[in-house]
């Protein structure tokens, strides 16, 4: 049973999601610690798939471990490292373990990672992978061969309303929805006007598509500069960086910026919740959730 | 017949390579993508741009190159292309059939080989289009 699907389709609750930290060490104890930290606040949490083109404990294994510890996973599948056979195998494996939320992403390029010499795959692209998940939901693999029992995936995807070509991003969201996506996590962005236009456009055509904008918690202007300079697809306007950089209390200025972003996004049409990236800043996360009117364990 | 096929292949490659840097995927979609070849995208994305497009509209992978989907969208909007081509811009294009690599897309168009998709894909397209 997907709690995420129930919350989005049967309630009007605000849905908060987050990113499960990558697992490179600490074993299952580390999984448990992460679950304890995130479970009180989030309806479901992303089990990432070699995020930022770095190898980590696999998407399927982390999703299973999260589920065993009582935290609902959104299992990401990225098109960069796996061909269509491997992608379908991930899906069938998720189905075997009762994982229902899956998110299909094109993925960062291999050049973003620490093994840029690797072969990039992209045998499928994001919208095709979404459609393949829909095909599995209907009880067959891509080839038409039967898969029994058929999965009951709640299909999620990602879109970046902030990157060019801006006018096309709404249509691309529609394409993902036509392929079967029911929820879109949106990438981090610092152009509220672009987010407004995107949400209004999507909500006007497919109001049932749940939009989940992302907000990142940082402690200074340094990560803002980093994202602007180094992360393709994210641009941070200079006045936003200056607002934090020129403050006498950078951590507080960065927090207020994030809080404003949350409040702004939650008021937009089609927005059903937020995706919070906190870089393990526990105190700030709790403060943010309290300021957004949340109390722990509201989803249980 | 094989001689004719080889000739067609040579003519197609000879025309498309210099203009579109054609890789002979054998399932050409140029007409629906603003006369811009999606196979020149470093990720070979056939269904629109990834989320990594830079603020200046350039490619995540090759910063010196303009994103082919930014280019495709501009051309789709501005070029006087047939309306029916433009209408297909946001179609969900099926996964590339690697068996067609190196064959003539003109021949595959005529024989409709380029419209064959795996059974699961075909069934879903039928169902979603009949709704």
Where residue A106 sits, what CATH number does that domain have? 3.20.20.220
Q: What is the pLDDT of residue B1?
A: 63
Would residue A300 count as lying in a domain?
no
Which residue in this structure is represented by tokens 């380029």?
A: B114
User: Residue B124 and residue A122: Cβ atoms within 8 Å?
Assistant: no
Q: Structurally, how many domains does chain A consist of?
A: 1
Q: Which of A16-20, A32-36, A241-245, A282-286 has the lowest mean pLDDT?
A: A282-286
Chain B CB contacts of A84 below 8 Å: 95
Would residue A297 count as lying in a domain?
no
pLDDT in tens, A95-147: 999 999 999 999 999 999 999 999 999 999 999 999 999 999 999 999 999 99
Would residue A298 count as lying in a domain?
no
pLDDT at A89 over 80: yes
Q: What is the pLDDT of residue B79?
A: 86
The residue in chain B having the minimum alpha-carbon distance to the alpha carbon of residue A83 is B95
Q: What is the pLDDT of residue B131?
A: 57
Chain B CB contacts of A165 below 8 Å: 49, 53, 57, 67, 69-70, 73-74
Q: Stretch B14-39: mean pLDDT, rounded?
A: 86
Chain B CB contacts of A175 below 8 Å: 47-48, 90, 92
Per-domain boundaries in chain B: 2-130
Instruction: Give the closest residue to A99 by CA, choosing from A59, A139, A127.
Output: A59
Strand duo A44-47 + A73-78: pairing: parallel
User: Residue A232 and residue B54: Cβ atoms within 8 Å?
Assistant: yes
pLDDT at A263 over 80: yes
pLDDT at A59 over 80: yes
Residue A160 touches partner B, C-beta closer than 8 Å? yes
Please report the number of interchain residue pairs, chain A to chain B, with beta-carbon separation below 8 angstroms: 130
Chain B CB contacts of A161 below 8 Å: none
Half-sphere exposure for A2 (CA within 13 Å, toward CB): 26
User: Residue B43 and residue A122: Cβ atoms within 8 Å?
Assistant: yes
Minimal C-alpha gap between B3 and chain A (Å): 32
User: Residue A168 and residue B55: Cβ atoms within 8 Å?
Assistant: no
Residue A215's pLDDT band, with cuts at 50, 70 and 90, is very high
pLDDT at A92 over 60: yes
Residue B16's pLDDT band, with cuts at 50, 70 and 90, is confident
Can you name the residues that pair with B58 across neighbouring β-strands? B66
Q: What torsion do the CA atoms of A168, B50, A184, A292 make, to the nearest 10 degrees?
A: -100
Residue A166 touches partner B, C-beta closer than 8 Å? no
User: Residue A143 and residue B94: Cβ atoms within 8 Å?
Assistant: no
Minimal C-alpha gap between A19 and chain B (Å): 18
Find the chain B residues whose C-beta atoms sit closer than 8 A to any C-beta of A: 42-55, 57, 60-61, 67, 69-70, 73-74, 90, 92-96, 118-121, 123-124, 127-128
User: Residue B51 and residue A171: Cβ atoms within 8 Å?
Assistant: no
What is the distance between the alpha carbons of residues A165 and A43, in angstroms, rounded to a whole number? 32
User: Residue A165 and residue B57: Cβ atoms within 8 Å?
Assistant: yes
Chain B CB contacts of A159 below 8 Å: 51
Q: Are A5 and A182 in contact (CB under 8 A)?
A: yes
User: Residue A140 and residue B120: Cβ atoms within 8 Å?
Assistant: yes
Instruction: Give the closest residue to A14 by CA, choosing from A275, A250, A189.
Output: A275
Q: Three-class SS of residue B45?
A: coil
What is the distance between the alpha carbons of residues B43 and A268, in angstroms, rounded to a whole number? 32
pLDDT at A280 over 80: no
The residue in chain A having the minimum alpha-carbon distance to the alpha carbon of residue B52 is A233
Q: What is the pLDDT of residue B130?
A: 66
Which residue from A120, A158, A164 is facing B57, i.e. has the nearest CB?
A: A164
Q: Which domain holds residue A61?
A: 3-291
Residue A81 touches partner B, C-beta closer than 8 Å? no
pLDDT at A221 over 90: yes
CA distances from B86 to A82, A186, A206 (A): 32, 27, 22
């Amino acid at each position: 049973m997907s709690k995420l699907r129930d919350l989005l389709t049967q309630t009007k609750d605000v849905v908060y999601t987050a990113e499960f930290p990558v697992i490179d060490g600490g074993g299952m104890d580390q999984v448990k610690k992460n679950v304890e930290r995130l479970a009180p606040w989030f309806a479901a949490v992303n089990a990432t798939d070699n995020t930022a083109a770095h190898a980590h404990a696999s998407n399927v294994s982390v999703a299973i471990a999260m589920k065993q510890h009582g935290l609902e996973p959104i299992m990401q599948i990225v098109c960069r490292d796996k061909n269509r056979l491997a992608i379908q195998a991930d899906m069938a494996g998720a189905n075997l373990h009762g994982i229902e939320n899956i998110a299909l992403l094109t993925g960062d390029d291999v050049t973003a990672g620490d093994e840029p010499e690797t072969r990039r795959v992209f045998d499928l692209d994001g919208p095709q992978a979404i459609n393949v998940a829909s095909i599995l939901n209907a009880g067959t693999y891509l080839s038409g061969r039967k898969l029994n029992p058929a999965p009951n995936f709640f299909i999620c995807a990602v879109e970046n309303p902030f990157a060019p070509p801006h006018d096309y991003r709404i249509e691309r969201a529609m394409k993902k929805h036509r392929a079967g996506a029911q929820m879109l996590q949106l990438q981090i962005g610092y152009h509220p006007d672009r987010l407004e236009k995107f949400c209004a456009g999507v909500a006007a055509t497919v109001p049932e598509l749940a939009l989940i904008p992302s907000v990142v918690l940082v402690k200074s202007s340094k990560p803002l500069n980093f994202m602007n300079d180094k992360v393709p697809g994210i641009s941070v306007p200079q006045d936003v960086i200056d607002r934090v950089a020129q403050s006498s209390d950078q951590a507080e200025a960065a927090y207020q910026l994030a809080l404003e972003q949350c409040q702004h996004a939650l008021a937009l049409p089609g927005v059903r919740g937020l995706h919070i990236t906190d870089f393990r800043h526990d105190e700030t996360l709790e403060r943010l959730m309290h300021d957004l009117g949340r109390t722990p364990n509201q989803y249980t | 017949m094989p001689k004719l096929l080889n000739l067609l292949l040579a003519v197609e490659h000879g025309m498309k390579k210099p203009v579109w840097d054609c890789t002979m995927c054998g399932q050409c979609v140029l007409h629906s993508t603003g006369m811009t070849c999606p196979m020149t995208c470093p990720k070979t994305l056939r269904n629109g741009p990834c989320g990594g497009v830079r603020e200046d509209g350039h490619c995540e992978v090759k910063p010196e190159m303009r994103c082919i989907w930014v280019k495709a969208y501009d051309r789709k909007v501005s070029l006087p292309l047939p309306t029916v081509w433009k209408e297909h811009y946001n179609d969900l294009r099926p996964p590339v059939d690697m068996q067609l690599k190196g064959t003539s897309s003109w021949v595959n168009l005529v024989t409709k080989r380029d419209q064959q998709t795996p059974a699961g894909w075909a069934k879903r397209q039928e169902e979603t289009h009949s709704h």
